[in-house]
Structure 1
Amino acid sequence: MENKIREILSKYDGTFGVIIKDSFGNRVAINEDKVFLSASIIKLHILSCISKLDYNKKIILKDKDKVEGNGLLKSLKSGVKLTIKDLAYFMICLSDNTATNILIDYLGMENINNFLKNSGYCDTILGRKMMDIEAKKLNKDNFTSPKDSEKVLDILCNDKDSLDMLKNQVCNNKLHLYIPEEEILAHKTGELPSVEHDVGRLYFKNGWVDILVFTQDLKENIDGIRINNEIGKIVYEYYKNRGY
């Protein structure tokens, strides 16, 4: 399987990181410590910072909160009341940028970064809110590594609410493309110009396998999507053919 994955990566130009880890103790890692622009994978780390004690607290949606890009909240009428848990679902399932920014304001960017640092995430930084063009002009951005994302994925998949959010992901054009719909892939995608990531846990009747694919510096974004498609297919078939 590792040789097939490396063969796929060799066909494309770019920077890549891959981790395949299963519940039986097997692990493949390629550039696991490489720091990538996180794109929306940073939303997994933000989710990990939210206390369940805050889930029922309500936030009123305001016009100033709304930003472009992914999501539905930008289209809702201001004044709508949403719980922190609602916002978390929007952030993960729909990759909603407005929900994400509201949660960043609620938690505090400095508090998020301190939490991540104290939790042992060496490569993950929240440097800006979603769609903050001015911050990008100042070279502020969001970063993570495959290794850090492997850790947060495991934590979230062991939490009932977070796992439900990941299972209800609607962006399924990458790892999930060649995996049958009835199979459960709890995951989160991320994309920017020249960046295409997907991070998830695929469940089998006898266990699970984590699949983390990071692609950056792509000539075309479609290359990163195809890499995710092909790796998802290879991993799924590998485990299915072995009766897992």
Structure 2
Amino acid sequence: MKKPTYLLFALALTMAACQLSSKKQTLNELKQNIAADFEANTGDYAIAFKDLSNPDNQLYINETETFHAASTMKTPVMIELFKQARAGEFSLSDSILVVNEFKSIVDSSAYTMDIGEDSGEGLYSFIGQKLTIYDLTYEMITVSSNLATNILIELVGAPNVMTTMKSFGANDIQVLRGVEDQKAYELGMNNTTTAKDLAIVMEMIATDKAGAPEDCSAMIKILKDQRFNDIIPAYLPNSVSVAHKTGSITKLHHDSGIVYLPDGRKYVLVLLSKNLNTMEEGTEVLARVSEKVYSYLNQ
């Protein structure tokens, strides 16, 4: 007995749908999809993605374009702190005075930080008191304290941070100064980065090459406590953990991190933006790109 024509048609549609649904997105298709997202939105964007469990999975767009680093430069500062502590220059448990007076790299003139411009405002209540270097490092990363950052940069020295980054092969990261050095800003003396170099930095931490394995583990633990989670982790399942550092100033929003999947795989993802129409728009674009990278890896 012959099947009715409409049943055969429905069967054909079902089979076609199954074939389409079983077709996995290629890495090139993912790249084209992300490039279209970047093109469709106001601003300039960059991505660096590397699957540490499968080196063939790498994706880069505008990865060598220079961006103001904003607070992403605090990760290199953290690395230098652990490096110097390992070398015996100090202990992370040593106490250090919390101050709010710093020297411009232009002419050594004094300047102070504005609590209204700092997301780590809680630290200002400790001015004149002592906290451990570790506590200041934790504040610098997790709540992006600018005050803690400046204290710590003066401790380790920005040139030393640069030397360490170059030893990693991250040659385009510029950590020249602390935060809110207005004289330096007006002369264009800014901290800058590229997506490629931040990816190198995160991979070095993830693979225990940014320092002793126990130091890298400690840095990852701090990065996992990041309080600003509206880009890389925003649309990922709760079972996924992210060790990351964000950065934002006017019309600019970044995120850079290591993503840990429940099955043991991990990948590095860096998402940068500048010249945004609104912070909300740029943040949403990058958060959705992070979601697409995750979905690609979990097809």
TM-score normalized by the length of structure 2: 0.75
Distance 1:36 1:145 in 2: 6
Residues 1:44 and 2:75 are matched in the alignment: yes
Contact residue 36 and residue 144 of structure 1 kept, 8 A: yes
- Residue aligning to 1:97: 146
The separation in 2 between residues aligned to 1:102 and 1:91, in whole angstroms, is 10
Partner of 2:179: 130
How many pairs align? 241
Q: Which residues of structure 2 form unaligned runs of 5+?
A: 1-29, 103-111, 209-215
Deviation of 1:102 (Å): 0.5
Match of 1:2 in 2: 31
**What is aligned with 1:152?**
201
RMSD over aligned CA atoms reads 1.8
Q: Could you tell me how far 1:239 is from its partner in structure 2?
A: 2.2
Tell me: CA distance 1:21–1:117, structure 2 relative to 1, closer, same or farther (3 Å): closer
Equivalent-residue separation in structure 2 for 1:107 and 1:189 (angstroms): 21
Determine whether 1:200 maps to 2:257. yes
Relative to the length of structure 1, the TM-score reads 0.91
Q: If you compute each CA radius of gyration, which structure gives the higher value, 1 or 2?
A: 2
Using the alignment, how far apart are the partners of 1:32 and 1:75 within structure 2? 36
Distance 1:118 1:182 in 2: 34
- The residue correspondences of 1:155-170 to structure 2 (distance < 5 A) are 155-157=204-206, 158=208, 159-170=216-227
Which of 57, 74, 77 is the matching residue for 2:94?
57
CA-CA distance at 1:206 after TM superposition: 3.4
Q: Give the structure 2 partner of residue 24 of structure 1.
A: 54
> Is residue 123–residue 145 contact of structure 1 (8 Å, CA) maintained in 2?
yes
1:39 Cα offset (Å): 0.6
1:131-183 alpha-carbon deviations (Å, 9 max, x no partner): 22222112111001111101111122331110001111000111221112332
**Separation in 1 of the partners of 2:278 and 2:204?**
32
Is 1:140 the counterpart of 2:226 in the alignment?
no
Bigger shift: residues 31-40 or 60-69: 60-69
What SS does the aligned partner of 2:177 have? coil
The alignment partner of 1:76 has SS state of helix
Deviations 1:58-97 (A, max 9, x none): 2011343662312144432333322222111111111111
Report what 1:216 is aligned to.
274
Distance 1:98 1:63 in 2: 7
1:225 paired with 2:254, answer no
- After TM superposition, give the deviation of residue 214 of structure 1 in Å: 0.8
AA partner of residue 220 (structure 1)? T
